């Protein structure tokens, strides 16, 4: 970096044929220019400039060095401007890693709305199954992680929370009876969601201050929200589902189970490798926070180490707005 700075000052002196004019163009004292050029000459072991009282001229070695320096400095300036553009203008490819179990319901509506606002961004989605939902690939700009966060030095920002309720098909409830309280779930077939560890987490049901953790028998255990919903529609059992299920309910395909009880919400975070983010990533995270949970838009960005998210049992569906 120091040598590149010296090359920049040397190239400016060579073009201006004057230390003072080069210093004025760069906005630095002439003594600074003179010192850095002298250090550059010592580092290459050759005199690059002939100095006199009226004019500064290039030596033979200086002319050769100047031709190389001019190209290097110009390329460095172009690279700097391109990076500055990335910092200020949302554009280019945005690589997003997200659990496949939630991508359809929680991500796509927000993603398409964000894409309409920033047409110069291209989206590369990496969908992870349940077995690797908490492990983002290295070539990734931002990861959307659900539930407990792994301890690491990465940077996280809360985006919202998943909210779900229990549903089953009317045919299933007619054949097996509707549960009257959480304890009744032990006598029913339930559809579980596998988490990153490969196990289906228990359901934590709550109604005001009343909480019950239910380790229901999961006859079916899947790692995809759409599959859990389809199994419930087909009468396979009771599933924890979120998102807009109005169409299913109006069509008589699903009915609410224990409607006075909800599942504990699961925290949703955007995770990045660093706080120094280009515009495309910063705008995406801000947009997701506003879109999915306006109250989280001004949340503090914190380091994950020692600050694990506290979440309840597993639930499927869209990130809530409240």
Any idea where the domains of the chain sit in the sequence?
2-88, 92-162+266-303, 165-263
Q: What is the pLDDT of residue 134?
A: 47
Q: What is the pLDDT of residue 301?
A: 39
Q: What is the pLDDT of residue 269?
A: 86
Write down the CATH number for the domain with range 165-263: 3.40.190.10
What span, in angstroms and rounded, lies between the C-alpha atoms of 90 and 87? 8
Q: Residues near 305 by Cβ (< 8 Å), separated by ≥ 6?
A: 151, 152, 153
Q: What is the pLDDT of residue 119?
A: 92
Instruction: Report mean pLDDT in 10-residue bins for the chain, 322 residues.
Output: 78 87 86 90 89 85 86 74 69 82 67 90 74 52 78 81 90 96 92 65 85 81 82 95 86 96 84 84 89 54 37 33 36
Structure tokens at 119: 């047409």
Query: Strand (E) positions, the chain?
Result: 49-51, 56-58, 92-99, 121-128, 142-146, 155-162, 165-168, 190-193, 203-207, 210-214, 218-222, 238-241, 255-257, 262-263, 266-272, 302-303
The verdict on pTM exceeding 0.75 is: no
Task: Please state which CATH class domain 92-162+266-303 belongs to.
Answer: alpha beta
**Which overall architecture, per CATH, does domain 2-88 show?**
Orthogonal Bundle (1.10)
92-162+266-303 shares the fold of 2-88: no
Structure tokens at 146: 């659900």
Q: What is the pLDDT of residue 80?
A: 67
CA 241 to chain centre: 24
């Amino acid at each position: 970096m120091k040598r590149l700075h010296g090359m920049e000052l040397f190239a400016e002196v060579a073009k201006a044929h004057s230390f003072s004019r080069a210093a004025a163009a760069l906005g630095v004292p002439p003594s600074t220019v003179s010192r850095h050029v002298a250090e550059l000459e010592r580092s290459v072991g050759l005199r690059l400039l002939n100095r006199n009282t009226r004019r500064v001229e290039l030596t033979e070695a200086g002319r050769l060095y100047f031709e190389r320096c001019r190209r290097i400095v110009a390329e460095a300036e172009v690279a700097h401007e391109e990076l500055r553009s990335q910092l200020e203008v949302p554009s280019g490819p945005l690589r997003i890693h997200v659990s496949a179990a939630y991508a359809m319901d929680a991500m796509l509506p927000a993603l398409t709305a964000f894409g309409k606002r920033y047409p110069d961004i291209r989206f590369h989605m990496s969908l992870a199954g349940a077995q690797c939902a908490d492990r983002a690939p290295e070539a990734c700009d931002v990861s959307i992680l659900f539930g407990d966060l792994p301890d690491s030095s990465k940077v996280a920002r809360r985006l919202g929370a998943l909210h779900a309720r229990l549903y089953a098909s009317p045919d299933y409830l007619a054949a097996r009876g509707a549960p009257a309280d959480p304890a009744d779930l032990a006598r029913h077939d339930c559809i579980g969601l596998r988490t990153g560890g490969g196990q289906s987490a228990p359901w934590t049901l709550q109604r005001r201050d009343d909480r019950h953790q239910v380790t229901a028998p999961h006859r079916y255990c899947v790692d995809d929200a759409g599959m859990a919903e389809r199994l419930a529609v087909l009468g396979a059992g009771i599933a924890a589902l979120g998102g807009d299920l109005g169409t299913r309910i109006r069509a008589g395909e699903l009915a609410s189970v224990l409607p006075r009880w909800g599942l504990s919400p699961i925290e949703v975070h955007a995770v990045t490798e660093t706080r120094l983010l280009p515009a495309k990533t910063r705008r995406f995270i801000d947009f997701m926070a506003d879109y999915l949970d306006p109250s989280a838009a001004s949340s503090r960005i914190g380091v994950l180490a020692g600050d694990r998210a506290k979440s309840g049992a597993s639930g499927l569906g869209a990130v809530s707005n409240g």
